[in-house]
A and B are shown apart, each in its own frame.
Chain A
Amino acid sequence: MVIGAGVVGAACAYYASRAGLRVAVVDRGPVAGGTTGAGEGNLLVSDKEPGPELDLALLSTRLWRELAGSLGEAVEYEPKGGLVVAAAPAGLDALREFAAGQRKAGVEAVEVGPDGLPELEPHLAPGLAGGFLYPQDAQVQPALAAAHLLRASGADRYLGETVRGLLTGPDGAVAGVVTDRRELSAPAVVNAAGTWGGAVARLAGVELPVMPRRGFVLVTEPLPRIVRHKVYAADYVADVASGSADLQSSAVVEGTPAGPVLIGASRERVGFDRRLDPVVLHRLAAQAAALFPVLRQVAVQRAYRGFRPYLPDHLPAIGADPRVPGLVHACGHEGAGIGLAPATGLLIAEQLTGARPSLDLTPFRADRFPPSAPDAGLE
């Protein structure tokens, strides 16, 4: 029983059902109704430092490539590569050091000198110090990814049904869910509720401090292909890793098959405040224009916002909760859920079927946080 029809829930359903389990997915909204539908669809290894999250991302990269065989066109899979640029030599030095560590962990990273940049991205601003090309970075359209994974899973769907509580067996183990319309029993319940994962954990009487971290994305009018890779400035990595509640932004610029250029990605912890913030728009637009001056000539057609599921150490919660038998977590992927979804789904399926895990799940344990009152994020 998977709670959540976002991309992580859909991937859990897909891999669990491929492993021979009977699966049902319940969500209070439609497919991709939460953060998945507000994402850009980044499948990135480039922004991750060596460690458990990078291992997860590398596994996912392989799995996305496999999935692309059957679903690639439907989910707009594009292995276009990422390009991280530095404005000044000091920034490039930092990138070089970062990339050296990543290479040891299995990441492909190719240094690009200032003269090589125009060949990769003809419209990039002149005068940059250089950058690194990450051929493994890719992109999917996230809502399509969730919808097609869910359909391919063949799982029973209970969409538009809100989970009100959990069923428990005589031994206290979770044994299913109670929705506003029915009871559904299952020996395992997967919490793939993303930003609302803390609320699901609370239904089981345990704490999981998932908090919302707001992001805005600007969408331009449809354009010919003027941006070929995912292009971002070196500051982005620091922003992702920051724990600050304040606004961080560094433009991630990329084209889409449909034409519009997407400009992300601000990060700020302001609860579930949906209001447009002109300061955020300004920063994103200014940073995008600094990378690609040609964008100054185009119109921003719309903007949207989403709330990333943020856990304090920036790692997701994946696997059985040691505190509550029957409860399994697959949430808290912050801004990397689209990329990390297949690996998460595979690991959950392996654990549910008792197969040997592809990765050590210890860093992702849900009980790794000291007990405290979460300051926000439970809606």
Chain B
Amino acid sequence: MPTLPSEPARGRAPYDLAVVGAGPAGLAAAVTAAELGLRVALLDAGPRVGGQYYRHPAPELGAARPDRLHHGWAVFARLRDRLRAQPRIDHLAGHHVWAAERGEPWRLHATLGPDAGDRVTVEAGAVLLATGAYERQLPFPGWTLPGVVTAGGAQAMLKAGLVLPGRRIVVAGSGPLLLAAASSLVSAGAAVPAVVEAGSYLGYARGVAALAANPAKLVEGAQHGTVLLRHGVRLRRSSAVIEAHGTDRVTAVTVARLDADWRPVPGTERRIGCDAVAIGHGLVPQIELATELGAATRTVPDGTVALAVDGEQRTSLPGLWAAGETCGVGGADLALAEGVLAAYAVAGRPAPRGALVRRRRRRAFAELMAAAHAPGVGWTDWLTPETDVCRCEEVPAGRIREAVEELGAGDARTVKLLTRAGMGWCQGRMCGAAVACLAGGPTDRPDSRPLSCPVPLAQLAEPPA
């Protein structure tokens, strides 16, 4: 596998396939496609393959046992070995793709760094989007205090830097990531006084068949459960952190019970001391490279928007495939299966049966989980008018409500125009879900981001290759 950290891809013949994202889906797709004879470019923003899921320490940190931080490390290790052995894949590390351009061939525009020359255009006959997902956040009073981190961020700190966000960490929000995060944190030596899950998990009972078809998922859940039990960690269901306390740093949280719509039940509040909070409400598919081109989407039961794909992982745009979390968040096993299936489809080969079966079962399970962890409409009750919803631009909930109730904003875009919520550095990735709820308009539309990430102006000023 030639690694080309900075060599521009100009003047080369187009690749057969460009894979964007080197997490589970992208890795599996790139390796499989190359083994089926395709010339593949594997573009990823990170310095090492693995994505968020297989994030691991830089070799300089000298981690003795990175596998201890991971489920499925052996699967990753095998994929990495196949990638290293594969001459038909160019791993383009550090490539932030900011736009995709349809055509024959497709063109991917990427930035490598701050200088004018750090612009690369990669051409390929087909593109597979395996750009994964980012975390969904629902704000609450005090969530901007130091010590409050995202659940995925806490895991990333641990996986990549071997550091903990605190010593006594409340894990809160909703979704299976919470159990995984809590389990990693206690295993690494942190105290976790509570895992606070807003969902009731009762939704799972409606999907017995999907559960029974996914014994591995049950085992995984049970493993997290066993770890948490051994460390005396309590899971509080139908509850939420409704406020974080502290002046320079979080020192405690208030946890309250929630009704079925996620409204805090008065009188149920209790205070839990901590020096960190890891919070997350599941993941949002990162799909703007495709939606900016008009690719069809679907609304997942958890309220997020994912790319619509057919049985061969094809999007509605000819030449554009998608796999993994971009098609609806479902975890690494599903991503691996979809990556393999997409590779076979791009190569024009019949799909392997095993991957088809795994995809069907895991996707059914994912939809069940999504429904169980969909935010209830009452969560906005725990906001005060002063709670910052957009932390980049410091827009409080009160201003957003004013824009909706008095100024005629009816959707997230108009709220953004009238308040600047979502106009800051993260371009609404942090507050988008919350703003859409407060705006009261449709929440099933993808955010518009013509540029997928910031691009140095000097690079745009260069003529396109």
Contacts and interface: CB of A to CB of B under 8 A. Distances in A.
A104 interface: no
Given A151-B407, A288-B457, A303-B451, A37 B462 contact: no
A296 B464 contact: no
Interface string A280-317: 01101110110000011111111111000000000000
A143 to B, nearest CB: 4
Interface in B414-461: 414, 417-418, 420, 423, 425, 427, 441, 448-451, 454-458, 460-461
A147 B418 contact: yes
Given A157-B408, A289-B457, A305 B450 contact: yes
Nearest to A304: B450
Q: Is the interface of A mostly helix, strand, loop or mixed?
A: mixed
Contacts of A282: 460-464
Interface in B216-265: none
A281 B460 contact: yes
A302 B450 CA distance: 7
B343 interface: no
Q: Is the interface of B mostly helix, strand, loop or mixed?
A: loop
A275 B158 CA distance: 39
Contacts of A289: 457-458, 461
Contact of A30 (B410, B455, B464): B410
A285 B461 contact: yes
A37 B116 CA distance: 31
Given A143-B418, A144-B418, A278-B464, A299 B455 contact: yes
A304 B410 contact: no
Interface centre among A5, A220, A302, A304 (most CB of B within 10 A): A302
B450 A221 contact: no
B221 to A, nearest CB: 39
A330 to B, nearest CB: 18
B254 to A, nearest CB: 34
Contacts of A19: none
Contacts of B418: 31-32, 143-144, 147
Nearest to A147: B407
A299 B409 contact: no
B163 interface: no
B406 interface: yes
Interface in B305-363: none
B456 A300 contact: yes
A301 B116 contact: no
Nearest to A297: B458
A321 B356 CA distance: 62
Contacts of B294: 274-275
Nearest to B403: A147
A37 B101 contact: no
Contact of A33 (B407, B414, B455, B456): B414
A32 B417 contact: yes
Contact of B455 (A260, A275, A300, A304): A300
Contact of B417 (A37, A220, A288, A301): A37
B205 interface: no
Contacts of A220: 457
Contacts of A221: 425, 454
Nearest to B456: A299
Interface of B: 99, 101-102, 107, 109, 116, 292-294, 393, 403, 406-411, 413-414, 417-418, 420, 423, 425, 427, 441, 448-451, 454-458, 460-464
Interface of A: 5, 29-33, 37, 143-144, 147-148, 150-151, 157, 159-160, 218, 220-221, 258, 260, 274-276, 278-279, 281-282, 284-286, 288-289, 295-305
Given A160-B441, A276-B450, 17 more contacts: A5-B408, A29-B411, A31-B407, A37-B414, A147-B403, A147-B409, A147-B418, A151-B406, A258-B420, A275-B293, A276-B99, A278-B101, A285-B458, A288-B461, A289-B461, A297-B456, A300-B454
26 contacts: A5-B408, A29-B414, A30-B414, A147-B403, A147-B418, A151-B408, A159-B410, A160-B441, A218-B457, A218-B460, A258-B423, A260-B423, A274-B292, A276-B451, A278-B99, A278-B464, A279-B464, A282-B462, A285-B457, A286-B463, A296-B457, A299-B456, A301-B425, A301-B427, A302-B451, A303-B450
